[in-house]
Amino acid sequence: MWSEIRQVLDELNIWSVLLRSFLAILIGGSLGIERGYKNRAAGFRTYILVCLGAALATMSGLHLSSLYGGGDPARVAAQIISGIGFLGAGSILVTRDKRVEGLTTATGLWVVAAIGIALGSGFYFGAVLAGVLVIITFTFMETVENILLGKRHFEYFYVELGSGESLVDFLAYLAGQGLEPQKTALQKEQRPDSPVIGVNLKLKLNKGQSPEAVLDLIADFPNVTYVAGDID
């Protein structure tokens, strides 16, 4: 019985199309939830649409190849992989202090497209396994990375303050929060007539302290008008 079910699912028919589409929504949504929870540029619906679209395009390639008895269905998958780069590039941002954010989100879009291709071609095991591994990477590997980096690690932040007089108070505020500035540099592009002062910070974080939590602490300072960090 299992061999018969497997044969039906390996072929392109209404049941396999339904299963592949459902798995694309399930896996893509599972990956997108984590990105959406962290307020990334591409979240829940984006990941679903990318995975489902890649699966549909792959199935369409298989269908056209079968319908007209020729052609290479793998060419569709190749175009998906190269085309998803344009969407991923849109989630990569360069902040005002010339730092890059969103690389993990962009890479996640590329991987979820590859998972959609695997589902569309009927490679169920590979798609599900990759989905589980990506979820583990998104969810737990940041903690593992922090452990491997040691008890304390460094992060870079860019902060804009409403007035130059508040810089000393701001640094004292960071010290009071247990954050140790390793490097402080004023933004070189600062306009002489502007009341806003830009500061590049290299902070030493405590064990278990996430960059997101530090962003919130910095944003709580009254004179902070803008803050950004190297967060994926």
pLDDT tens digits along 46-99: 889 989 999 999 998 888 888 777 777 778 878 887 777 666 565 555 555 445
Are the beta carbons of 114 and 78 closer than 8 angstroms? no
136-147 confidence digits (pLDDT tens): 888 877 677 666
| Distance from the Cα of residue 222 to its chain's centroid | 30
The answer to whether the predicted template modeling score (pTM) of the entire model surpasses 0.85 is: no
DSSP conformational letter for 206: P
Return the sign of the alpha-carbon dihedral for residues 165, 171, 172, 177.
Answer: positive
Give percent of the chain with pLDDT exceeding 90: 17
Domains present along the chain, CATH in parentheses: 2-148 (no CATH), 153-229 (3.30.70.260)
In residues, how long is the chain?
Answer: 232
Q: Give the residue-averaged pLDDT of 180-202.
A: 67
Asked if pLDDT for residue 188 goes beyond 60, the answer is no
Burial class (CB within 10 angstroms; exposed 0-12, middle 13-18, buried 19+) of 71:
middle
Nearest to 223 by CA among 142, 153, 166, 145: 166
Q: In what order do the strands lie in the sheet with 197-205?
A: 180-186, 197-205, 153-161, 224-229
DSSP assigned state of 43: -
Mean pLDDT of 218-232: 76
Contact 226, 160 (CB under 8 A): yes
